[in-house]
Amino acid sequence: MTNDSNLIRLNKHLALLLGVSRREADDMIAKGTVLVNGKPVILGARIEPGDSISVNGELINNNADHQYVIFNKPIGYVCSRRAQGDNPTIYDLLPADMASLKPVGRLDKNSSGLLILTNDGDFAHQMTHPKFSKVKVYQVSLDTPLQPLHQQMIADYGVEIGDGTSKLGLERTDDERKNWIVTMSEGRNRQIRRTFIALGYEVTELHRTNFGSYSLGDIKSGEYKTINIA
């Protein structure tokens, strides 16, 4: 008879192995795409160490540990496992054993800086869901000086960008008014670029330096370091 203390919640285990949230793991279980020892399972199922698990007919590695990586993404790389046209992917710069890690949020091809990768779905959820309000910090350069009126609009009132109002924190870094420190706690697709485009500006450089309590530090472009989560 199996000791209950040795049993593992399947959704928690799938979140670890696949880098998804527990809710996403529950959705996969409910759809019948998860088999344990060749048989369908129900929500709330528990497994024993050594059980065989497959998802969508593919056997998955049953021995993964949580991994957390801070990566300094260079410009020109996409945050996907497959190349998009001639654009290389960030995984071309990472070791093969990190291929299963997923980005926590994304940076577009023309943006650089701090990118966190993990196989911990719950951690990724806590870092990206709006209710947790994780602040991100960017160094942003514009093609033309930002007018004071537009600065006030962005920082105090927000700018309509098609999927809602975008409000950003702004700190000027020079008298030219082209270079700014931008802070935000949302994570809408290309939000910073779209905010400035809505007012007639082009973002020429966008570099993320901080995400929540994590900072890029002295990690060089294209390099990474593994971190521990308390």
* pLDDT(69) > 90: yes
Active-site annotation holder among 51, 108, 122, 163: 108
pLDDT digits (tens, 9 = 90+) for 157-168: 999 999 899 999
59 versus 28: the higher-pLDDT residue is 28
Q: Determine whether 143 is an active site residue.
A: no
Q: What is the pLDDT of residue 1?
A: 44
Q: Is the pLDDT of residue 221 over 90?
A: yes
Q: What number is the average pLDDT over the span 170-175?
A: 96
Q: How many C-beta neighbours within 10 Å does residue 128 have? A: 18
Looking at domain 4-59, its CATH class is alpha beta
Report the topology of domain 68-129+215-226.
Answer: Alpha-Beta Plaits (3.30.70)
Q: Which amino acid is at 223?
A: E
Q: Would the pLDDT of 100 be above 50?
A: yes
Q: Where does CATH 3.30.70.580 sit in the chain?
A: 68-129+215-226
Interaxial angle between packed helices 121-128 and 22-30, expressed in degrees from 0 to 180 and rounded to the nearest 10: 120
Q: What class is the 135-211 domain?
A: alpha beta
pLDDT at 99 over 60: yes
Look at residue 5 in the predicted model and tell me its pLDDT: 60
